[in-house]
C-alpha cells in the first residue's frame, strides 16, 4: 500500500502545477487552442498563425491565417521547395573547364574557359581539384588565357532590397562563378569587384603551379559554343545545399539558388526570373504568395500562414526538405531555443527575422505520437519578444494530445 503523500509535498506539487505555463503542460485540442490563442493575443493584429494536424488534415488553430505577411527568411522554404521540385534532391551544380580547341600534344591552341553554373560553395580547394583534372588530362600549355564565364547569371551583384547593389545582408557578390563566396582574402577590398575575373586569375595561378603554362592574363568572357570539356567539378547535392542554407538561414545561398532556378527554367539567371518560376510552381499547389527574392530580405515579399502550411503539408514526406530544417534545441537558428522543453528534438522549423518581423514555421511531432505543421508570421513586432511567444506556441504543440 502506498503511503499517503505528506501535506507539504502535495502542496508543493500543486504550486508547481499552478506556476507551470499552460504551454508546457499536456493539453487536448481545446486546451492547446487556448494556449496558442493566449500567445497570439500578445503578438498583435499584424500577426497571423495557422496549425493543422497532419494525421487528420484538420485545422487545429488559425487566426488571420489567410492574410499575407512579410515572411522574412521563411521565404527560403519556397526557394527550397521550388528547387527540389524542379531539380530533384540529388542534383549537383557543375563548374566546368573547357578548351577552345581540342588539346593536341598537350597544347590548347586558344583559350581555356572556366564556366560556372552557380555553385555557391566553389572555393580555392575545389578550384585546385579542377586545375589538377586539367593537368591530368595531359595539358601542358594554353596559348591563350583563362576566361571566367559567369554568363549563366545576370550582372547584378545584389538583391531587390538593396537596389541590386552588393549588400552585407546577402554576404557576397552574386555570380554564377562564385569563388570563395566573393571574398578577396584581404582586408581591403574585402569583396571581389569582378568575381569571374578573380576566379579565372586564381585558376590561372593554380594551373601554372601545376606546370601548365598559360600565355595570357585572365579575363571575363563567354565560353565558345564548340569548346571541348577537359574537366568538371561537381557541387554537393541539392539536399546537402538546402541543409547548409536553411539551418543557418544563409541569404547568399538562397539568392544564388533563386538565380539558378531562373537560369534553368525561367529563361534568365536573374532574381526576377527565378521568382517567377517559384511563383508558378507554388501556384500548382493552390498557393498565391508574392515572391520578390529567394531569401526573404525584401519587405515586398508576402505570404500567408495558410499558404506556408499548405507547402509544409505537401512536402511532409520529402526527407530533403524536412531534413534541411533546424531542430529545436539542437541545430540551426533554433539550436539555442526551446532547450529542455517538450519541443526540443520534436520540432523542426525555419525562422525568419527582419528588424520588425519574426516568423517560425515547421513541424512538431507531439509527445503523444501526433504530428502538426504550423506557421507563425508576426509583423510589426519586437523580434525578441515574438520569439518567446513562438517558442511557447511550439511547446504547446509538442504537448498536444490529439
User: Comparing C-alpha atoms, which of 84, 110, 112 is closest to residue 98?
Assistant: 112
Paired with 371 in beta bridges are: 365
Q: How many helices (H) and strands (E) does the chain have?
A: 11, 14
pTM: 0.92
Torsion from C-alpha of 146, 171, 334, 336, nearest 10 degrees: 110
First to last CA, the chain: 34
- E strands, 5-93, are 47-53, 59-63
User: Comparing C-alpha atoms, which of 188, 187, 185, 162 is closest to residue 201?
Assistant: 185
DSSP secondary structure letter of residue 289: -
- Could you read off the pLDDT of 12-39 as tens digits, one per residue? 333 333 334 555 667 899 999 999 999 9
Q: Is the peptide bond before 189 cis (omega within 30 degrees of 0)?
A: yes
- E strands, 235-345, are 326-327
- d(CA 84, CA 75) in angstroms, rounded, equals 15
Give the cell for residue 289.
504568395
- d(CA 207, CA 217) in angstroms, rounded, equals 12
Give residue 27's pLDDT.
87
- d(CA 35, CA 45) in angstroms, rounded, equals 17
Q: What is the mean pLDDT of residues 304-320?
A: 98
- Could you read off the pLDDT of 173-199 as tens digits, one per residue? 999 999 999 999 999 999 999 999 999
- d(CA 182, CA 170) in angstroms, rounded, equals 11
- Could you read off the pLDDT of 345-384 as tens digits, one per residue? 999 999 999 999 999 999 999 999 999 999 999 999 999 9
Give the cell for residue 193.
569587384
**Domain architecture of the chain: domains with CATH:** 25-88+240-398 (3.40.710.10), 94-235 (3.50.80.20)
- Indicate if the pLDDT at residue 137 is higher than 60: yes
Q: What is the mean pLDDT of residues 319-335?
A: 98
- Indicate if the pLDDT at residue 10 is higher than 90: no
Amino acid at each position: 500500500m502506498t503511503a499517503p503523500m505528506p501535506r507539504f509535498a502535495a502542496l508543493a506539487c500543486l504550486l508547481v502545477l499552478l506556476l507551470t505555463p499552460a504551454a508546457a503542460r499536456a493539453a487536448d485540442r481545446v486546451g492547446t487552442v487556448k494556449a496558442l490563442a493566449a500567445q497570439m493575443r500578445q503578438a498583435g493584429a499584424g500577426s497571423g498563425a495557422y496549425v493543422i494536424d497532419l494525421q487528420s488534415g484538420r485545422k487545429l488553430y488559425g487566426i488571420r491565417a489567410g492574410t499575407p505577411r512579410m515572411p522574412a527568411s521563411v521565404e527560403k522554404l519556397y526557394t527550397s521547395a521550388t528547387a527540389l521540385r524542379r531539380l530533384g534532391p540529388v542534383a549537383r551544380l557543375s563548374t566546368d573547364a573547357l578548351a577552345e580547341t581540342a588539346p593536341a600534344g598537350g597544347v590548347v591552341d586558344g583559350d581555356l574557359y572556366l564556366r560556372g553554373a552557380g555553385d555557391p560553395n566553389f572555393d580555392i580547394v575545389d578550384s585546385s581539384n579542377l586545375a589538377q583534372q586539367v593537368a591530368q588530362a595531359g595539358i601542358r600549355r594554353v596559348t591563350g588565357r583563362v576566361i571566367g564565364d559567369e554568363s549563366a547569371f545576370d550582372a547584378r551583384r545584389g538583391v531587390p532590397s538593396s537596389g541590386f547593389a552588393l549588400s552585407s545582408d546577402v554576404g557576397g557578390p552574386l555570380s554564377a562563378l562564385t569563388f570563395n563566396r566573393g571574398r578577396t582574402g584581404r582586408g581591403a577590398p574585402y569583396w571581389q569587384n569582378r568575381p569571374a575575373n578573380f576566379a579565372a586569375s586564381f585558376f590561372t595561378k593554380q594551373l601554372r603551379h601545376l606546370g601548365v603554362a598559360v600565355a595570357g592574363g585572365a579575363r571575363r568572357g563567354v565560353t565558345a559554343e564548340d569548346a571541348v570539356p577537359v574537366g568538371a567539378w561537381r557541387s554537393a547535392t541539392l539536399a546537402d545545399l538546402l541543409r547548409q542554407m536553411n539551418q543557418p538561414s544563409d541569404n547568399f545561398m538562397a539568392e544564388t539558388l533563386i538565380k539558378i532556378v531562373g537560369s534553368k527554367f525561367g529563361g534568365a539567371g536573374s532574381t526576377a526570373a527565378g521568382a517567377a518560376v517559384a511563383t508558378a510552381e507554388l501556384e500548382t499547389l493552390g498557393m498565391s504568395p508574392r515572391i520578390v527574392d529567394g531569401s526573404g530580405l525584401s519587405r515586398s515579399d508576402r505570404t500567408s500562414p495558410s499558404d506556408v502550411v499548405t507547402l509544409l503539408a505537401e512536402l511532409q514526406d520529402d526527407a530533403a526538405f524536412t531534413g534541411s530544417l533546424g531542430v529545436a534545441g539542437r541545430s540551426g537558428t533554433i539550436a539555442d531555443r526551446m532547450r529542455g522543453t517538450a519541443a526540443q528534438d520534436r520540432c523542426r522549423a525555419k525562422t525568419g527575422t527582419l528588424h520588425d518581423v519574426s516568423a517560425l514555421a515547421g513541424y512538431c511531432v507531439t509527445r503523444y505520437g501526433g504530428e502538426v505543421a504550423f506557421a507563425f508570421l508576426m509583423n510589426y513586432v519586437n523580434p525578441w519578444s515574438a520569439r518567446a511567444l513562438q517558442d511557447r506556441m511550439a511547446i504547446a504543440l509538442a504537448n498536444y494530445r490529439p
